[in-house]
Structure 1
Amino acid sequence: MIESRAVVAPGRGKPVEVVTINVPEPGPGEVLVRVRACGVCHTDLHYREGGINDEFPFLLGHEAAGVVEATGAGVTEVGEGDFVVLNWRAVCGECRACRRGRPWYCFDTNNAEQSMQLSDGTPLSPALGIGAFTERTLVHAGQCTRVDPAARPAVVSLLGCGVMAGVGAAVNTGGVSRGDSVAVIGCGGVGDGAIAGARLAGASRIIAVDTDPKKLAWAEQFGATHAVNAAEADPVAEIRSLTGGNGADVVIDAVGRPETYQQAFYARDLAGTVVLVGVPTAEMELRLPLLDVFGRGGALKSSWYGDCLPSRDFPMLTDLHQQGRLPLEKFVTEEIALDDVEEAFTKMERGEVLRSVVVF
């Protein structure tokens, strides 16, 4: 066992604690990663609040980049010294989705077999199968993707979740292409990722929708051409007005509430596409006239992790960033220490940051 300082959520709604945990040496198919940076994501806050499940204590953190320190038997994907971004969808290669050539829908993703533990031997539940608010973490080899080692860890770590979810919602799920009009409802980290993805894909008009003027200003940094404050105007009417009265070709709901989904549905053009990438809660229900669903045509899609394939998308997006075509650095509001995670959650809830990033 290797001792490592880590951020742990001990129970529902309780403040996180920084403690020393025990990390096993890697077994077959496993990799020990020395974490260099890890973003503070809303999903980590959901784990702390018990919004995911009740399998406390949780080892938080999952948007991470680091260096492979050791590998277990049979690992060929990565080797000692490789700079990697971690992912929470290590495809199995054997399930029905993988066999159909759609590994981004893999139904049997891989995680490390061994458990990391508190010093008293209590097993930890790693957030999204990663658990990276720690100096070292144990993951499955398939959760490691090599990227350009010249990239800043604090920047490319965000590809591990939120940014990838947003970029992928636009490019992979929404199929945004040159000349398309795109509207993005909700301009946090995921929404701004969708805006950046739409810009990469060549969208001609990118409409950012939010109720927070600060977030609308952030959205412009990532390529939004127009901003709509939904607290002051009807977003459906505004999006239609900005698209010749037709609605946008692709509308991305990065909030995940029934009311924002309805806005996305009615703000799209006939035969347009709605993409839901914001995560709803279990009690939420949606009501839409079935005749409208039929009559408007097009596609209603959900985007899981931006329908990404980490082995394909992480290196590509890192290279685009290194070329100056994807401003990942603008997502990083602040770099913090491991002891500052609880305060970072507070800033996140207040809407003061896009991303706080723990740097080791």
Structure 2
Amino acid sequence: MQAVVCHGPEDYRLAEVPVPTPGPGEALVQVEAVGICASDLKCYHGATKFWGDGDRAAYVETPVTPGHEFVGRVVALDDTARQRWSVEVGDRVTSEQIVPCWECRYCVRGQYHMCAPHAIYGFKRRTPGAMAAYMIFPADALVHKISAELPPAHAAFVEPLSCALHAVERSGMRFDDVVVVAGCGPIGLGMIAGARARFPRRVIALDLAPQKLDLALRCGADEALNIAETDVVAAVRDLTDGYGADVYLEGSGHPSAVGQGLSLLRKLGTYVEYSVFGSDVSVDWSIISDDKELDVLGAHLGPHTWPAAVRLLESGILPMDDICTHQLPLAEFQRGLDLVGSGAESVKVSLIP
């Protein structure tokens, strides 16, 4: 079969490799679509989070097939897998991006998304990803069925949507909150939809691209502000009687969005960081402590939110035809990475093996 194989930063190659064989309790899945994530792009370009430096251990194990947001159909599985996941041959399925060990302190406490070995599809050799015609769901995977009526690229959007919903849950937002979402890419649009489902007082979207701001309004934002044209800190204060936002969800991955969020939050506000940054970010920490006493929270993956993400996709509420802007054959993976990198033409780019 064809597969994209990562050999190192900016060394991804299309190759012919054997179709994998499922072991006990595993499933062989024919991949229908795999999204290209901003973290895939940062890994491709050699961000230290993935490849390590003097302060970070290397995370990527090469050679490995990338791809952690995907959907496919079950081709083969044994009775153990059938009973564990309640799936049959022919079912359309997706798998959570992390395959937990179920033995470390995090897994046994239900915090499986922080599993110590942290085997995410597409980064570890034991969990090859979905940029291939076929892939294996390991026995420890978390598997969900998803409607066969959804176009493949739409169904594969369940992964970034689950992540966005986790960030919303982390915020603990309330009905009377003013919520600001920075970045209207796939994660940000999911944050907007998730926040709107909690019925806060107002959801404000921030981005540079007019087409993404339009999508933000269609996903549930009340206002969409172009940060190149508007003093967003002043605008948010004007909309909140001078106080500032209650909740800030950062989904852009731009260093400038961090200071922006700290500035536009009210005292005792909540900042949730989801992005993977390509470089270090510096801020004035006295804003967090002495000035405002903010709650600053991280968010990682999408634990316990996949069923809700599936339901949200299947509801038809989201403008998925306009979110899933590009579907490319596997051989055009480089063009897909370039589209994600430029950000000017695309929102969600998917490969169709």
Conserved 8 A contact 2:262-2:288: no
Q: Distance in 1 between matches of 2:77 and 2:111?
A: 28
Give ranges in structure 2 of 5+ residues lacking alignment.
Answer: 52-59
Partner of 2:339: 347
Aligned partner (choices 179, 182, 197) of residue 182 of structure 1: 179
Q: Distance in 1 between matches of 2:124 and 2:111?
A: 26
- Provide Cα deviations, 1:251-308, integer angstroms capped at 9, x if missing partner: 0111234431121112112222100011123x514232436524423411001014x2
Q: Give the secondary structure class of the aligned counterpart of 1:304.
A: coil
Q: Give the secondary structure class of the aligned counterpart of 1:231.
A: coil
Once the two structures are overlaid, the 10-residue window that deviates more, 292-301 or 343-352, is: 292-301
Partner of 1:286: 282
Residue 14 of structure 2 is aligned to residue 18 of structure 1: yes
Q: Distance in 1 between matches of 2:20 and 2:174?
A: 46
List aligned pairs for 1:153-172, cutoff 5 A: 153-160=152-159, 162-170=160-168, 172=169
Residue 310 of structure 2 is aligned to residue 301 of structure 1: no
Conserved 8 A contact 1:148-1:315: no
Q: TM-score, normalised by structure 1?
A: 0.84
Residue 200 of structure 2 is aligned to residue 200 of structure 1: no
Conserved 8 A contact 1:276-1:301: yes
- State the shift of 1:72 in Å: 5.5
List aligned pairs for 1:206-221, cutoff 5 A: 206-221=203-218
Aligned partner (choices 81, 84, 87) of residue 77 of structure 1: 84
Partner of 1:61: 67
Query: Structure 1 residues 111, 257: closer, same or farther in 2, change over 3 A?
Result: closer
How many positions carry a matched residue from both structures? 338
Give ranges in structure 1 of 5+ residues lacking alignment.
Answer: 113-123
Q: TM-score, normalised by structure 2?
A: 0.85
List aligned pairs for 1:125-136, cutoff 5 A: 129-136=127-134
Partner of 1:98: 107
- Provide Cα deviations, 1:21-74, integer angstroms capped at 9, x if missing partner: 123311234321111111122222223223322644331222100112223684
Query: Structure 1 residues 111, 70: closer, same or farther in 2, change over 3 A?
Result: farther
Amino acid at match of 1:84: V
Conserved 8 A contact 2:96-2:306: no
- State the shift of 1:134 in Å: 0.9
Residue 318 of structure 2 is aligned to residue 321 of structure 1: no
List aligned pairs for 1:119-130, cutoff 5 A: 129-130=127-128
Partner of 1:120: none
Amino acid at match of 2:74: V
Query: Structure 1 residues 6, 287: closer, same or farther in 2, change over 3 A?
Result: same
Task: Give identity over the alignment, percent.
Answer: 30
